[in-house]
Structure 1
């Protein structure tokens, strides 16, 4: 049982990543940047209002800004950590050696993916004490923060899976990174734009909010991480607005969960299947 659960690739990747001074330097600068933002925001807000205290509404706004900063961190850093996981080994000509070991393709792919996700989780956990400052001023519940972090984790898995998949099927690291970042731009930006265009066209055609169901608009809103975070931060107002504009009463979080779990599983399966196929083609 112990041998079945052991993954030498994961152990090696974690040791290399977490023993590097570059990784911990990055964490330190990230925490310093968050501290500067949080304490600077508190000082500026209390100075401008002249009240000398931080209100719950201002704490909620700061929490919203921190949440979107964390989302941007996930969408920006995850492709850089995963899109070169396999292609870098191929470029260094070490992938052939790795494939001659007793490790299965699944162990290699999951080991590379898990080590990258572990580093990102460390970043999120390291920032929790700064996040927890909002509880001192009110406006945010611990349960709301927990749900947001669960969806952060799901997003990391999906983005990491996409990066690993591109890294496996594309031989060049730079091309794999471009493809991964392009996919992230589509999911985080283009889907929201398509949602706004469809709902805007429906409003112009009818002169009011949607009177007939708009499943395409609702689907693109459901897979957009920016829209999801907005619905988690302000659940009542955001859900009501999306329901009114699409005329579909289906939770955004449910559609997001189903879609991104599907994307994660498919990406990992494709990467596992194509890992050794590419090596046969190179021969």
Structure 2
């Protein structure tokens, strides 16, 4: 832990990123957009219902929409922030200088990772006061709020680690970014499509001439649901979706536990590969 926080690479990258006016302008426009969405939703809902108050059920809908907006922010911005962390240094021909310093590979990789996702984490934290407006109208428990942000952080860390890994393995930033976005799309879109396909196959296979039979447990469908961020958040915000997933998979193991296991392992494996491959060319030259 001391090695992580006593990291010159991390401090240097944070200073360069947060001294730029673009960072604070980005936070400003993000908060303006979130405020416009929240107050616009409240105004349109109260106007359409002909009431002067906001119901707890409508507050829960707002909480769900905000959760998916945050998830989309994480999925589509994190690869752009991390996929060029190492490859850009290589393209600017400054990576060799960085490798000759006294910093270990672990410090360089973790410094680049945490500095890259720090801006995104700051965006999420800066939006908390606006996000917490849903508590004023009821319908949301603190546990729902904590679960969403815990899994947002796990997702940011995992996708950021994948981006750092590809940035280390691939020499060109644009190629690294494409591969990272491809991985993100596979985890968030392709797995969902495959789950729906497996659902249709399960329903078709369980239909007999005398009616519907109970489908057999499907481990593959459960794994697909467990690694898909959108399905996990949908199960948090809608108990009906959680019940539908259980009905399809017939596996009672909670998908949020599978999600944690998969993405923590993905984070550790990605960082391990990135650390091991960072100085591979220097070792060969010796």
TM range (shorter): over 0.9
In the TM superposition, what is the alpha-carbon distance from 1:237 to its structure 2 partner? 2.6
In the TM superposition, what is the alpha-carbon distance from 1:104 to its structure 2 partner? 0.5
177-186 or 141-150: which moved more?
A: 141-150
In the TM superposition, what is the alpha-carbon distance from 1:238 to its structure 2 partner? 2.8
Distance 1:216 1:4, change over 3 A: closer
1:28-39 matches, cutoff 5 A: 28-39=28-39
- Unmatched tracts of structure 2, length 5 or more: none
Q: Does 1:113 align with 2:130?
A: no
In the TM superposition, what is the alpha-carbon distance from 1:117 to its structure 2 partner? 2.1
Aligned match of 1:274: 277
Distance 1:2 1:243, change over 3 A: closer
Mapped to 2, the partners of 1:144 and 1:210 lie a distance apart of 32
- Unmatched tracts of structure 1, length 5 or more: none
Could you tell me which of 222, 226, 248 is aligned with 2:226? Answer: 222
Q: Deviations over 1:220-273 (max 9, x none)?
A: 000000011111223x43332211111111101000000000000000000000
The normalised TM-score by structure 2 is 0.95
Could you tell me which of 232, 246, 253 is aligned with 1:250? Answer: 253
1:190-209 matches, cutoff 5 A: 190-207=190-207, 208=212
In the TM superposition, what is the alpha-carbon distance from 1:85 to its structure 2 partner? 0.1
Aligned match of 2:168: 168
CA contact (8 A) 1:195 1:220 kept: yes
Secondary structure, in 3 states, of the residue corresponding to 2:279?
helix
Mapped to 2, the partners of 1:6 and 1:165 lie a distance apart of 22
In the TM superposition, what is the alpha-carbon distance from 1:81 to its structure 2 partner? 0.5
Secondary structure, in 3 states, of the residue corresponding to 1:132?
helix
Mapped to 2, the partners of 1:210 and 1:280 lie a distance apart of 58
Question: How much is the aligned-residue C-alpha RMSD, in angstroms?
Answer: 1.7
Mapped to 2, the partners of 1:3 and 1:220 lie a distance apart of 36
Mapped to 2, the partners of 1:190 and 1:127 lie a distance apart of 29
How many residue pairs are counted as aligned between the two chains?
Answer: 282
Aligned match of 2:154: 154
Q: Deviations over 1:191-243 (max 9, x none)?
A: 01101101111101212475211100110000000011111223x43332211
The normalised TM-score by structure 1 is 0.96
Mapped to 1, the partners of 2:226 and 2:281 lie a distance apart of 34
Aligned match of 2:267: 264
Secondary structure, in 3 states, of the residue corresponding to 1:133?
helix
